[in-house]
Structure 1
Amino acid sequence: MIWLSQAGGIWTLRINRPEKANSLTREMLGQIDGLVMRALDEGARALVLTGAGKVFSAGADLDEARAGLATDGIWEQLSGHIAAAPCLTIAALNGTLAGGAFGMALACDLRLAVPGAKFFYPVMKLGFLPQPSDPARLAALVGPARAKMILMAGQKIGAEAALDWGLIDRIVEPEALAETAATLAADACAARADLAGAIKRLIG
């Protein structure tokens, strides 16, 4: 349920479960993590995460969440691998981002979203803590109070507000999402292999 494509140094991973709002099972998360590590081992210059259909991901599959997936360490492992990637990472959000799927997007260097995307992380309502690294990454982007608005007050944020807050970096029409991600990755793909990682370390 995860599609992989490669072109010119760009590895694109697409969540392909649109009939279930791209909700994530333990198997899917493991597959994404394995493909991320494979991409890095094989010298990817840019990594793009996106989804099929009109939702990027609704988070954990509900049945598996109730069975323990909501607190499984695979979420933190995956976001950690994305955050540590020595290449440019882009979340090309084709629609709404919810729940545990936030971790993948927060760990990326850049986040693009379509105009109708919404952002929410209803851990208070569901009775779970967010994944350990997510609150700090969220607060680094939007500030502590706005992070609490999302995580504690359960607010659902639209794309315009997300851009204003710094949660996303650009709003892009759906038909231009892949092209925009490729354009943003062009310099990283053309540069010396170690340059992107070195710049990321300088930024911190």
Structure 2
Amino acid sequence: MAPRVRAEDHGPVRVLVLDNAAKRNALDFQALEELEAACVAASEEGVRCLVLRGAGEEAFSSGFDLAEIALTSARGERPDEAVERTAAALDAVPCPTVAFLNGGAFGGGFELAVTCDLRVAREGVKLGMPPAKLGVVYPEGGLRRFADLVGAARTRELFFTGRPIDAETALAWGIVNRVAPAEAAEADALALAADIAANAPLAVRGMKRILRLLEGAHERGLSDPERGEIADLRRRAFESADMREGRSAWQERRRPRFKGE
């Protein structure tokens, strides 16, 4: 099977490309495993700035490939768990990370972009979180990443409605750092990464680590009963008829008929 993630080095900057353009760079178990391994390699090899983008010009990532859900029971792992594990690996990269949103980003693809430290978007791209349209209770790790970035109210709007937003709205909300014209967006993202890579690595990595610690300092953490409740909510939703209906409706390009069961 062809690789799903490829690496391109530009001096001290490494670009990781989600390479599944035929499916709008949809994520599958293979892609997530390869991206996790690539993040570990970047950490070990002293990369000074890591850029994540999608292949082609149409999409950053359309999210998890729903056709792969049938493999869940055989693998003993759910898609949301695989996305969360990979997001954690991306979050653990010690150097700054930049998401170049060369196209639309949805679901797990959007979460990977939010996990990065900075985001550069091409004009006209759409970003969205559709789990409510699929009958999915999104994991607490992903919800926390969005809430930390844009606050609770914006996170509720994104996840409760499932409506996509455009790049300009994302800039106003603070989701992306800058929006660039299509012809200049890639150069803008790489220039940002080069500026970061030109600085003292220990200083940049140290400040990134301190910022991470400050972000988590106000959190008391979840109690065991709370974690159990969250796990039960997610399990029930994942095993529900609504989840199956949401998946079918998405694949058939029709409006879902949810029954709350």
Please give the alpha-carbon distance, in whole angstroms, between the structure 1 residues aligned to 2:13 and 2:82.
24
Pairing 1:1-204 to 2, within 5 Å after superposition: 1-53=4-56, 54-68=58-72, 71-204=79-212
- Letter of the structure 1 residue corresponding to residue 188 of structure 2: T
Structure whose residues are more often strand by fraction: 1
- Letter of the structure 1 residue corresponding to residue 48 of structure 2: R
- Conservation of the 8 A alpha-carbon contact between 1:70 and 1:100: no
The C-alpha deviation readout for 1:135-174, integer Å capped at 9, x for no partner, is: 1111122221111111111121111111101111111123
Q: What is the count of residue pairs matched by the alignment?
A: 204
- Letter of the structure 1 residue corresponding to residue 50 of structure 2: L
Deviation at 1:70, TM superposition (A): 5.4
Structure-1-length-normalised TM-score? 0.93
- With 111-120 and 68-77 compared, the bigger mean Cα shift is at 68-77
- Conservation of the 8 A alpha-carbon contact between 1:22 and 1:55: yes
- SS of the residue aligned with 1:134? helix
The list of structure 1 runs, each at least 4 consecutive aligned residues, that deviate by more than 4 angstroms after superposition, is none
Relative contact order, higher structure (CA 8 A, sep 6+): 1
Root-mean-square deviation over aligned CA pairs: 1.6
- Conservation of the 8 A alpha-carbon contact between 1:87 and 1:188: no
- SS of the residue aligned with 2:108? helix
Structure whose residues are more often helix by fraction: 2
- SS of the residue aligned with 2:7? strand
Deviation at 1:84, TM superposition (A): 2.1
Unaligned runs of 5+ in 2: 213-261
Deviation at 1:66, TM superposition (A): 4.5
The C-alpha deviation readout for 1:11-34, integer Å capped at 9, x for no partner, is: 101112112111111001111111
- Conservation of the 8 A alpha-carbon contact between 1:103 and 1:131: no
Whichever of the two has the greater Rg, that structure is: 2
- Letter of the structure 2 residue corresponding to residue 44 of structure 1: V
- Letter of the structure 1 residue corresponding to residue 61 of structure 2: S
- Letter of the structure 1 residue corresponding to residue 170 of structure 2: A
